[in-house]
Amino acid sequence: MMNPSDISELHFIASIADVHSIMEKGIFCHHLAQKLAHHDLSMPEVQDRRTTRILPGGRPLHDYANLYIHARNPMLFVRKERHSEICVFRISTNVLYLPGAVIADGNAASDYTAFWPAPDGLAKLDKALVLAEYWTDPDIFAYWNKKRVRCAEVLIPQRVLPEYIMGAYVSCDEAQARLTAAVPQLAVTVDAHLFFR
C-alpha cells in the first residue's frame, strides 16, 4: 500500500534531444506526440500492446501521458547503454490531483495491470515492489510480476503541462552539459545510480 506522502516526485524518461520542446509544450500523450518530430525511446512491441488498451471509462491508453512512480525500472534498464542521451524529468506530485488522472498498478501495457482513479489508487500499489531496488526472482512468475509492478504508472489525460516539471536527472557530466546547454533554466542533477551506472 502507498499513499501520496510516500512519493516526492514522479518521473518521465525522455531523450535529451527533445527536452527543449518538452519544456515549451509539456509531456504529450502518445497520440499527440505522434504529430510532432521526436525521439521515441519506447519499444515498438510494447507500444503495439498499449495501442489496444482501453482504460475504465473508455479512453484509450494512448490518450494519456504516462509518468512512472520511479524511473529506475525495466524500461530505463533496457536503455542503459544510451544513458548519456537520456534524462529523467522530475514531475510534481500535484499531477495526481488533476481531473481524470489514473494510477496503473504496474506497466499499463500488461494484461495483468489494473487501473484506479488518482490519488486514491495509490493505496492499491505494493510499495515494496514498486520501489524495490531489483525485480529479479528465481521464480519466473514472480519475476514477471515484479517487473510489471516496478513499472507502475500515473496516467494524465492528454498532456502534462511544463509548469509541473521540477527538474531532471542525468547519468553523467557529459549528459548534464548537454542538457544544461539545451535548457539552461532547468535544474539538473547527476544521479548515476538511477541510470544503472
Q: Do 93 and 8 touch, CB atoms closer than 8 A?
A: yes
Residue pLDDT, tens place only, 125-163: 999 999 999 999 999 999 999 999 999 999 999 999 999
Its pTM stands at: 0.92
Whether a cis peptide bond, with omega within 30° of 0, leads into 99 is no
Burial of 149 (0-12, 13-18, 19+ CB in 10 A): buried
Question: What average pLDDT does the chain have?
Answer: 91
pLDDT of residue 46: 55
Domain range enclosing 96: 4-195
Number of domains observed in the structure of the chain: 1
Residue pLDDT, tens place only, 20-61: 999 999 999 988 877 765 556 655 555 556 777 888 888 999
Q: Do 17 and 41 touch, CB atoms closer than 8 A?
A: no
